[in-house]
Amino acid sequence: MMKLYVFGWVPDFAVGLVRDLRVRWALEEAGLPYEEQVISHEEKLTDAYKAIQPFGQVPAIEDDDLTLFESGAILLHIASKSDVLLPGDANGKARATAWMISALNSMEGVIQGLVEIDIFNAGADWAKERRPAVIERLEGRLSDLSKALGDKSYLDGETFTVGDLMMVTVLRILRHTDLLAKYPNLNAYKERCEARPAFQKALAAQLATFEREGELKASA
Ligand SMILES: N[C@@H](CCC(=O)N[C@@H](CS)C(=O)NCC(=O)O)C(=O)O
């Protein structure tokens, strides 16, 4: 059974956003079972864990003799084991992969720039000065994404793919802002994807782990 490395505790701002959620969601969509391996923030720094995830982060997986890190690579690996996350035709596969990479490359970096300002450096003078330019850039990206989505249900049409899964987990990082509300089709798209039973199961599993590990710590 696939082993998924996850944290047992994260600060409140990250609860429900930690990137193992992407992997849990993909596994639920694909109907593949997994077991969690909880690591601590001390263990993530060890040479043993860095042999699994070179940057000391989650997610990482072990699947038979394959050890894999980077959520995008893990999602493609899961998609290759199932026919529900990627279309059957080569062009459809390529387009879904492009959307997944755009989520990581064209959207997540810009969104993470705002997180650096609003969460990790809230109150710093440089952050206040930089914020308007970051917002302008981000709104440009959201506007372009909104236009590309148009009135389709999903980014590549009417079929949910791994590209949507990744894009929605990236858009969710903006939950501390009201930016998405300015793009009703994007907001509705995010909510449509979040309503999927596989997402709900994945989110519940991540939250349950934090709860269980918290209780274990409290009773220790
Ligand atoms: N590019 C990586 C990013 C992973 C990442 O940022 N993980 C965060 C949790 S969401 C983490 O482990 N942070 C702890 C740390 O960096 O020390 C991926 O997509 O897998």
147-203 pLDDT tens trace: 999 999 999 999 999 999 999 999 999 999 999 999 999 999 999 999 999 999 999
Confidence of residue 22 (pLDDT cuts 50, 70, 90): very high
Look at the chain and report how many structural domains it folds into: 2
Ligand 1: residues whose CB is within 6 Å?
Answer: 18-19, 44, 56-59, 70-71
Q: Are residues 72 and 104 in the same domain?
A: no
Q: Are residues 177 and 107 in the same domain?
A: yes
Which residue segment(s) compose the domain that 36 sits in? 2-84+198-219
pLDDT tens for 45-94 read 999 999 999 999 999 999 999 999 999 999 999 999 998 999 999 999 99
Q: Hey, which of 9, 57, 206 would you mutate to test ligand 1's pocket, going by the most ligand atoms within 8 Å of its Cβ?
A: 57
Q: What is the mean pLDDT of the chain?
A: 96
Q: Are residues 75 and 97 in the same domain?
A: no
Q: Are residues 204 and 176 in the same domain?
A: no
Could you tell me what percent of the chain has a pLDDT over 70? 100
Q: Are residues 98 and 186 in the same domain?
A: yes
Q: Can you tell me which atom of ligand 1 is nearest the CA of 44?
A: 17
Q: Can you tell me which atom of ligand 1 is nearest the CA of 59?
A: 20
Could you tell me the distance, in angstroms and rounded to a whole number, from the CA of residue 9 to the centre of ligand 1? 14
Q: Can you tell me which atom of ligand 1 is nearest the CA of 18?
A: 10
| CATH classification at residue 95 | 1.20.1050.10
Q: Are residues 141 and 129 in the same domain?
A: yes
Take residue 88 and report the two structure tokens written for it.
């059957």
Could you tell me the distance, in angstroms and rounded to a whole number, from the CA of residue 157 to the centre of ligand 1? 30
Q: Are residues 58 and 109 in the same domain?
A: no
Q: Are residues 158 and 94 in the same domain?
A: yes
Q: Can you tell me which atom of ligand 1 is nearest the CA of 72?
A: 19
Could you tell me the distance, in angstroms and rounded to a whole number, from the CA of residue 33 to the centre of ligand 1? 22
Q: Are residues 109 and 75 in the same domain?
A: no
Q: Are residues 15 and 65 in the same domain?
A: yes
Q: Are residues 102 and 184 in the same domain?
A: yes
Q: Are residues 54 and 16 in the same domain?
A: yes
| CATH classification at residue 23 | 3.40.30.10
Confidence of residue 20 (pLDDT cuts 50, 70, 90): very high
Could you tell me the distance, in angstroms and rounded to a whole number, from the CA of residue 115 to the centre of ligand 1? 13
